[in-house]
Amino acid sequence: MSKYGENNIKAYGKNFTTMTPGPVAKFLRTCIIFQAIRFIIINIKMLIVVSKSH
């Protein structure tokens, strides 16, 4: 199987219709402190949901 079609794709070109992340989104995706806080918040929410079902 050749990957001929993949060579013609130019990311962030004029025909690339998906949204590109801004500088704030890029920073939040790579910031370890923000990701750790978000991980803790999601885990607390999951604990609440699980505790309601038991």
Q: Do 28 and 34 meet the contact criterion of CB atoms below 8 Å apart?
A: yes
Per-residue pLDDT tens over the stretch 1-54 = 555 555 665 666 666 667 778 899 999 999 999 999 999 999 999 999 999 986
Q: Do 30 and 38 meet the contact criterion of CB atoms below 8 Å apart?
A: no
